[in-house]
């Protein structure tokens, strides 16, 4: 079985700041608004909101064993502060050779370094449009193998049934044979719209068979960015909780009776709450999936594979913890204010008594 026409998309997602003003960024670079190119009927409101910016950037091709990436890379900027880089790798090889390419792509240092340099150049060009710019060390990678034509021709379902073990090795980047359980797990998340296409989705990669699957790939690319944002936000909330606990310990060690002693801690916790909530809502509301039922099912599959529901639950739990800490700090500050006022009243009464008893 030979791939006569196909493309591998190597995806890299980065966190570059708290948010990006896409309108201001569009004035500084040559870009176009990203739109889903759908081949199925769907309502007009099924779209990114707001539409991210797609930038085409020239550069040097990166060698990947017997393959080479295209010199042009596509960079997508999202309003919630994430940037995705996509490399195209033309495929004209035996189907089984994708195992070697998948293993080569896994943790490829040169491609990773090149993607970071490209992101740095774009961020430098649009820096005034980035809120709190900071390129994080965290990166989320994903590979999408898109097969448009096979020789000899083969129906996607037949290909998956006959090459299930090879599918699993490609998706798991494993040269050796896998167990039946591992093959079943790797190929378990699959979906097809017609007899002419197929999407098999796994944690680190996906295999798409068919033509005009740009919309499915766009959903996978967005889910990869969303996973990065969930990981980043979860880490930020962990750091915030550690910082809050340390602040509480310091406050307990130097107990103050003045009502404004905990004002700084309250302000910091409130800022962390607002930042976390804004970023969480921005990511989860960026792609509207109410119209196209097929793409909504694709998104549900990749969400299940990425465990996005568990990430959401973890983030919401930590936001609730911050809210609880804020409430306790606020209650303690209120109690101190009342106690301070009581002492003032006692002091005034004592002064009035002393003045009344003082001769003259």
Identify the DSSP state of 191.
E
Residue 36, pLDDT > 60, answer: no
Angle at which helix 164-172 crosses helix 98-105, to 10 degrees, equals 20
Question: In whole angstroms, how far apart are CA 209 and each of 199, 286, 347?
Answer: 6, 27, 82
Cβ count within 10 A of residue 6:
20
- Tens of pLDDT, residue by residue over 137-176, are 999 999 999 999 999 889 998 998 889 999 999 999 998 8
Report residue 54 as tokens: 């797609």
Q: What is the band of 262 on the pLDDT scale with cuts at 50, 70, 90?
A: low
User: What pTM was estimated for this model as a whole?
Assistant: 0.82
What's the pLDDT at 258? Answer: 52
Distance, CA of 208 to CA of 156 (rounded, Å): 9
- Tens of pLDDT, residue by residue over 86-138, are 999 999 999 999 999 999 998 888 999 999 999 999 999 999 999 889 898 99
Report residue 247 as tokens: 């602040």
The DSSP bridge pattern shows strands 205-209 and 139-151 to be: parallel
Q: Output 278 or 299, whichever has higher pLDDT.
A: 299
- Tens of pLDDT, residue by residue over 177-206, are 999 999 999 999 999 998 899 999 999 999
Give the closest residue to 225 by CA, choosing from 287, 275, 301, 278. Answer: 287
Give the closest residue to 225 by CA, choosing from 172, 303, 168, 109. Answer: 303
In sequence order, what are the residues at sequence separation of 6 or more whose Cβ sits closer than 8 angstroms to the Cβ of residue 301?
Answer: 189, 191, 201
- Mean pLDDT, rounded, of the chain: 84
Helical (H) or strand (E) element with 286 = none
Mean pLDDT for 285-302 is 74
In sequence order, what are the residues at sequence separation of 6 or more whose Cβ sits closer than 8 angstroms to the Cβ of residue 242?
Answer: none
Q: Which stretches of the chain are assigned E, i.e. beta strand?
A: 2-15, 19-20, 32-33, 53-58, 63-64, 67-68, 72-77, 82-94, 130-131, 139-151, 190-191, 198-201, 205-209
Q: What is the band of 320 on the pLDDT scale with cuts at 50, 70, 90?
A: confident
Report residue 180 as tokens: 């039946």
């Amino acid at each position: 079985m030979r791939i006569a026409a196909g493309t591998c998309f190597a995806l890299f997602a980065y966190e570059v700041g708290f948010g990006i003003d896409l309108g201001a960024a569009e004035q500084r670079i040559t870009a176009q608004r990203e739109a889903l190119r759908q081949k199925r009927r769907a309502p007009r409101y099924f779209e990114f909101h707001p539409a991210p910016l797609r930038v085409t950037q020239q550069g040097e091709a990166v060698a990947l064993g017997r393959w080479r990436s295209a010199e042009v890379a596509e960079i997508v900027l999202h309003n919630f502060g994430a940037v995705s880089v996509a490399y195209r790798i033309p495929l004209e090889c035996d189907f089984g050779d994708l195992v070697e390419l998948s293993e080569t792509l896994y943790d490829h240092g040169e491609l990773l370094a090149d993607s970071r340099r490209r992101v740095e150049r774009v961020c430098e060009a649009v820096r005034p449009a980035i809120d709190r710019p900071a390129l994080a060390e965290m990166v989320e990678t994903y590979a999408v193998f898109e097969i448009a034509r096979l020789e000899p021709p083969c129906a996607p379902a037949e290909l998956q049934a006959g090459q299930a073990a090879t599918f699993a090795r490609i998706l798991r980047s494993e040269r050796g044979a896998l167990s039946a359980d591992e093959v079943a797990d790797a190929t378990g998340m699959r979906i097809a719209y017609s007899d002419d296409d197929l999407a098999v989705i796994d944690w680190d990669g996906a295999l798409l068979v068919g033509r005009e699957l740009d919309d499915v790939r766009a959903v996978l690319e967005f889910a990869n960015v969303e996973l990065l944002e969930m990981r980043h936000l979860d880490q930020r909330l962990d750091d915030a909780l550690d910082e809050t606990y340390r602040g509480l310990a310091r406050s307990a060690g130097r107990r103050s009776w003045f009502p404004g002693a905990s004002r700084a801690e309250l302000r910091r916790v409130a800022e962390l709450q607002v930042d976390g909530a804004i970023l969480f809502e921005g990511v989860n509301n960026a792609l509207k999936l109410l119209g196209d039922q097929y793409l909504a099912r694709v998104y549900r599959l990749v969400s299940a594979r990425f465990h996005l529901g568990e990430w959401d639950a973890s983030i919401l739990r930590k936001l609730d913890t911050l809210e609880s800490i804020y409430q306790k700090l606020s209650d303690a500050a209120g109690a101190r204010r009342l106690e301070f006022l009581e002492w003032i009243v006692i002091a005034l009464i004592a002064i009035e008594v002393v003045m009344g008893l003082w001769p003259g």
